[in-house]
Amino acid sequence: MKNTYNKGKYRNCEYAKHLRPFLKRVGNKKWRSDANLVITEQLSLEQKERTDFVGKLRKRSTSSSAIKVKITFEGYGAVTFSQYKKYKTERALNDACKRNSVLRIVLK
């Protein structure tokens, strides 16, 4: 988003690096009255540019995870805890099962 604060009409026609206190106060008042309108305009333009750009890209098909599992682990001090996990491939599930702390696996 382009920075419009303290530029142009919000600087009250002064181009110095540091604004005098009165002019800064005037610029801030103008900015507060116009800020929402300016920001919404810029965001709508950015979204339009994004949608134009995204529409030209090729969309990938997203595959959902195929295997849902509840894995029970054994932690320190014989504490057990369970986690629900999703795996896209059977190989990833097998790799997760090889951990030493796994007690049991339940397919969902």
Mean pLDDT in each 10-residue stretch from start to end of the chain (108 residues)? Answer: 62 59 68 80 78 61 79 91 92 91 91
**Range of 50's domain?**
8-56
73 lies in some domain: yes
Are 49 and 76 in a shared domain? no
DSSP for 6-28, written as a single string = TSGGGGTT---SS--HHHHHHHH
* Tens digit of each residue's pLDDT (9 = 90 or more) over 29-45: 777 777 888 888 888 88
Q: Which two tokens stand for residue 61?
A: 């098909």
What's the domain count of the chain? 2
What confidence score (pLDDT) does residue 3 get?
A: 65
39 lies in some domain: yes
Amino acid residing at 70: K
**Which residue, chain included where needed, has tokens 């796994």?**
102
Q: Are the CB atoms for 80 and 70 separated by under 8 Å? A: no
- The answer to whether the predicted template modeling score (pTM) of the entire model surpasses 0.85 is no
Q: How many CB atoms lie within 10 A of CB 64?
A: 6
Are 12 and 40 in a shared domain? yes
47 lies in some domain: yes
d(CA 27, CA 30): 5
